[in-house]
Amino acid sequence: MVLAIVLITIFASTVRPAFLSGRNITNILRAYSTIGIASIGMAYAIIGGGMDLSIGSTISLSAVVTMLIINATTVDTVSPWWAALLVLAVGIAIGAVIGGINGSIMAIVNGRMGESFIITFAMQIVVGAVAQAVVQGMFQAAAYKSGLFKQFGIGFVPVVFFVGVAVVMQLILMKTKFGRCLYFLGANMSAAKMAGIRIRQVRLLSHMLCGMCAGLAGVLVVSRVNSASVLQGQNYELDAMVCVAVGGTSMAGGSGSVGKTVLGVLVIGFLLTALNVLGVQSNEQLIVRGVVIIVAVILDTINKQAKLREVAR
Amino acid sequence: MQDYILEMKDITKTFPGVVALNKVSFSVRRGEIHALVGENGAGKSTLMKILNGVYQADSGEIHLNGERTVIRDTIDARKKGIGLIFQEFNLVNTLSVAENIYINRLKTRRGRVAWKEINRETQLLLDGFGFNFRATDKIEDLSAAQKQQVEIAKVLSYNAKLVVMDEPTSSLTTSEAEKLFGIIDRLRAEGITFVYISHKLDEIFRLCDTATVLRDGNIIETRETKDFTTEQIIERMVGRSVDMEYPRRNCPIGEVVLKVENITRTGVIRNISFELHRGEILGIAGLVASGRTELAEAIFGAERYDGGAIEINGKKVAIHSTNDGKRHSIGLLTEDRKETGLVLSYDLIRNITITNLDKVKRGPFLSARLEQELATRHAKELSVKTPSMKQFAMNLSGGNQQKVVFAKWLFSDVDILILDEPTRGIDVGAKYEIYLLMNQLAAAGKSIIMISSELPEVLGMSDRLIVLSGGEKVGELDRDHATAEAVMALAVKN
């Protein structure tokens, strides 16, 4: 995985030396930190043997609400510091509520992967409509020119958020009872149940955390692009899924990690930027993207089998 | 000269480590109803799977209508006039009766399926047997008895001359069963031969002409049913020589720790009551589908129960989830350790500590070192043989996997252990170790409920045992009165 990033970098920078500039690298990291945060949430849903297709709409809703709050509180193009903290809280809360609904339904129907597709896809539609209703379809431009909120999208700040979320989420996953139970749930739901795990609670919590990540991503993306629309989160669920898959987290659940997902985000980020820098047309870019995903899944399978053989010996 | 439709001669079949059938010769006369009886695991299913081409015998011959033949696979068996009706129906619920019967040979007219014709033909077939449902009815709208009739119509539509029925009445009511017997009688008059597998001896005496008793992969005896008595059949079914000693234990049995009162789950178990004492091993005997596993799951909280009460240490408790069960000190070692007992792709450490992660916490976080240390200690105590604790559970032998499941529940410090088929699929030596372990646990003050299909094992290990049949408790025997004959007589009663 790291090797892939290095190779992409070497290749791109020999053709276009500007690729290796500090500025460009910062740009990549900044641009992909919101996707990264969403992907980490998605990793939780997937490791638990589920999926969340509603994060796109969650990001949109969080974004438009954020913009409305920020614009309403801005005085003389300055956004007050408390507004920035308020939108963080509100954005994450929106995500928690949506994820909580997803998770509750999943818990009630005792759902697995298949159910999660349908449930969260329905949620995607509903939340998308809510976001539409909130802004009445209008594109929201920023009324502020400075203030704490502006800082969220500048320089390394988004990256700091990304790293912070990654560290906390990795800690929860690897070092808490909940995290361990989530792995069992994803690996074998019946065995998890028979081990006396509260599978419904674990399922609920995993979807809530996933939603919260999306909510946070929605807030940050507004600050970076200085605007918000109901299309803000479009395709985020697919991009996040790609990052998780490329990172080597099994779509079947029960394995993978936040660390792997972060690497997946970086590979995708570097790859797509490199393609841009190299002047590859968007149509060809899509082809490369598709190929990368398939290769990642194949490599993961080969890897897994090799590992099993090794241990069996 | 007898006219045999089927002769299986000296059939031997071995699976790794087990001789499933040992030179079995089984002959069925044309036009008779021939009962095949034996305990679970006696080899009935294996023999029938060989007849149906699912397995190939290691040695031996099959003769059909006096001619030697080889049955390559199930399609071949069907072509040769053999029809099997399993306990579990092989029907697609969302399709119609006609579709299910003709699914793989749909007639077409100019490239399109000729539904009208198919439905008409099916209806004729059904009417011929006097079945009271339509060719166009959906399977899911039919009763269990009707579904079975669809299965019968299906095999007969293939012109089967020899029909094997495996436990056909297990999901039928008494009146439905009577109706089935009527159908079988009529078909016999039309020249169809039946092999009838059942645990219910009264049915066998009611219906069958001949009975063959199979035990431990050997044919014990074939006789006309009028020359058999129930006692004789039971004796032949269970009368194996005790080829293994069960370790003795001498530990005092204490106070009541678990009291189950009138526990009921509609349609599955009904009004079952019993008590379990400290240091006791309580056996639960009964045939497959008698409600044993369902009882265990209800007590542990894996399945809800609609009525009755559970008391633990004299206090009434509400158990609605497996987590409730665990918190009330109950652990269930499931009958399927590969599917529900272990996560095979995880290492032993994770599999053992999952029942009690609080134990391996330092502060708010799990400690990998503490986890490894405690898991290793538990695995050692049970002498789990593994090159490393990081080994995946799937790479262990059955016996060692089972020990890991024991370790997992001992890790949770529960006092009541429910063992569902604890020695299934593990070899004799490992079985003995499991027995020793059970004795140790009982001596240490744990209480054990042991469910097993192997009668000698439950008899050998239990201080007391209860017998289930048809979801009800049909008897309770203490150690001195628990004999194979007594248990079997109770188990086949309902």
3-state secondary structure (DSSP) of residue B11: strand
- B256-491 has CATH 1.10.150.80 classification: no
Residues of A in contact with B390 (CB under 8 A): 311
Alpha-carbon dihedral sign for residues B36, B41, B43, B49: positive
CA distance B323 to B316: 17
Dmax (CA) for chain B in angstroms is 83
Residues of B in contact with A190 (CB under 8 A): 339-340
Mean pLDDT by 10 residues, chain A (313 residues): 78 79 85 95 96 96 94 90 95 97 94 92 95 84 86 90 97 96 95 95 97 97 91 90 89 91 92 84 83 81 70 45
pLDDT at site B93:
87
Indicate yes or no: CB of B339 within 8 angstroms of CB of A191: yes
- Rounded to 10 deg, the angle between the A199-225 and A177-187 helix axes is 100
pLDDT at site A309:
59
- Rg of chain A (C-alpha set): 20
Q: Is A196 on the interface with B (CB under 8 A)?
A: yes
CA-angle at A233, arms to A230 and A235, nearest 5°:
120
Indicate yes or no: CB of A188 within 8 angstroms of CB of B332: no
Please name the member of A174, A194, A311 whose beta carbon is closest to the beta carbon of B334: A194
Q: Are strands B82-85 and B108-109 parallel, antiparallel or unpaired?
A: unpaired
Mutate to test the interface with B, among A182, A194, A202 (most CBs of B within 10 A): A194
- Residue B326 to chain A, least CA–CA distance (Å): 6
pLDDT at site B244:
52
Mean pLDDT by 10 residues, chain B (494 residues): 86 79 92 88 85 91 92 90 85 90 83 87 88 90 87 89 88 80 91 89 89 89 89 76 64 92 92 95 86 94 92 94 95 91 94 95 93 95 88 84 94 95 76 88 94 86 92 90 86 73
Q: Is residue A198 a contact partner of residue A103, using CB atoms and an 8 Å limit?
A: no
Q: Which residue of B has its CA nearest to A180?
A: B354
**Window 203-242 of B, Cβ < 8 Å to A:** none
* B450: DSSP letter: E
Indicate yes or no: CB of A180 within 8 angstroms of CB of B395: no
Mutate to test the interface with A, among B293, B345, B358 (most CBs of A within 10 A): B345
Please name the member of B339, B390, B394 whose beta carbon is closest to the beta carbon of A190: B339
Q: Is residue B19 a contact partner of residue B2, using CB atoms and an 8 Å limit?
A: no
**Window 273-302 of B, Cβ < 8 Å to A:** 302
Q: Is B93 on the interface with A (CB under 8 A)?
A: no
Please name the member of A177, A187, A191 whose beta carbon is closest to the beta carbon of B341: A191
- Residue B332 to chain A, least CA–CA distance (Å): 7
ipTM for the whole complex: 0.88
CA distance B444 to B437: 10
Q: Is B339 on the interface with A (CB under 8 A)?
A: yes
Q: Which residue of B has its CA nearest to A304?
A: B345
- B4-238 has CATH 3.40.50.300 classification: yes
pLDDT at site B423:
86
B4-238 and B256-491 agree in CATH topology: yes
Residues of B in contact with A183 (CB under 8 A): 346, 350
Q: Which residue of B has its CA nearest to A171?
A: B365
Indicate yes or no: CB of A177 within 8 angstroms of CB of B326: no
Mutate to test the interface with A, among B365, B389, B396, B420 (most CBs of A within 10 A): B365
Partner residues linked to B62 by β-bridges: B8, B69
- Residue B331 to chain A, least CA–CA distance (Å): 8
Say which amino acid occupies A146: S
Indicate yes or no: CB of B346 within 8 angstroms of CB of A197: no
Mutate to test the interface with A, among B343, B344, B355, B389 (most CBs of A within 10 A): B343
Indicate yes or no: CB of B357 within 8 angstroms of CB of A184: no
- Residue B423 to chain A, least CA–CA distance (Å): 18
Say which amino acid occupies B195: V
Q: Is residue B258 a contact partner of residue B380, using CB atoms and an 8 Å limit?
A: no
Counting one residue from chain A and one from chain B, the pairs whose CB atoms sit within 8 A come to 74
Taking CA atoms, B218 is separated from B288, B316, B452, in Å, by 21, 49, 21
Indicate yes or no: CB of A193 within 8 angstroms of CB of B343: no
Q: Give the residue among B290, B294, B243 at the shortest CA–CA distance from B418.
A: B294
Specify the DSSP element, H or E, that contains B206: helix B201-207
CA distance B254 to B259: 14
Q: Is A172 on the interface with B (CB under 8 A)?
A: no
Domain boundary assignment for chain B: 4-238, 256-491
Please name the member of B327, B345, B358 whose beta carbon is closest to the beta carbon of A254: B345
Indicate yes or no: CB of A181 within 8 angstroms of CB of B354: yes
Indicate yes or no: CB of B343 within 8 angstroms of CB of A187: yes
Specify the DSSP element, H or E, that contains B448: strand B447-451
Q: Is residue B484 a contact partner of residue B238, using CB atoms and an 8 Å limit?
A: yes
Q: Is A254 on the interface with B (CB under 8 A)?
A: yes
Taking CA atoms, A250 is separated from A50, A225, A296, B25, B392, in Å, by 11, 33, 10, 51, 17
Rounded to 5 degrees, what are φ and ψ at A84?
-60, -45
Partner residues linked to B377 by β-bridges: none
Q: Which residue of B has its CA nearest to A310?
A: B391
Q: Is residue A262 a contact partner of residue A5, using CB atoms and an 8 Å limit?
A: no
- Residue B318 to chain A, least CA–CA distance (Å): 15
Q: Is B431 on the interface with A (CB under 8 A)?
A: no
pLDDT at site A307:
67
pLDDT at site B243:
46
Q: Is B323 on the interface with A (CB under 8 A)?
A: yes
Q: Is residue A33 a contact partner of residue A232, using CB atoms and an 8 Å limit?
A: no
Domain boundary assignment for chain A: 30-256
**Window 365-424 of B, Cβ < 8 Å to A:** 365-366, 390-392, 394-395, 408, 412
The tokens 């032998």 sit on which residue? B397
**Window 24-63 of A, Cβ < 8 Å to B:** none
Residues of A in contact with B339 (CB under 8 A): 188, 190-191
Please name the member of A176, A187, A198 whose beta carbon is closest to the beta carbon of B345: A187
Please name the member of B354, B394, B395 whose beta carbon is closest to the beta carbon of A180: B354
Partner residues linked to B109 by β-bridges: B112
Q: Give the residue among B274, B273, B276 at the shortest CA–CA distance from B414.
A: B276
Indicate yes or no: CB of A198 within 8 angstroms of CB of B323: yes
Residues of A in contact with B393 (CB under 8 A): none
How far is Cα of residue A15 from the mean position of the Cα atoms in its chain?
31
Mutate to test the interface with A, among B357, B371, B406 (most CBs of A within 10 A): B357
Indicate yes or no: CB of A180 within 8 angstroms of CB of B325: no
B309: Cβ–Cβ under 8 A, 6 or more apart, which residues?
B260, B261, B262, B263, B316
Residues of B in contact with A107 (CB under 8 A): none
- Residue A209 to chain B, least CA–CA distance (Å): 18
Indicate yes or no: CB of B357 within 8 angstroms of CB of A188: no
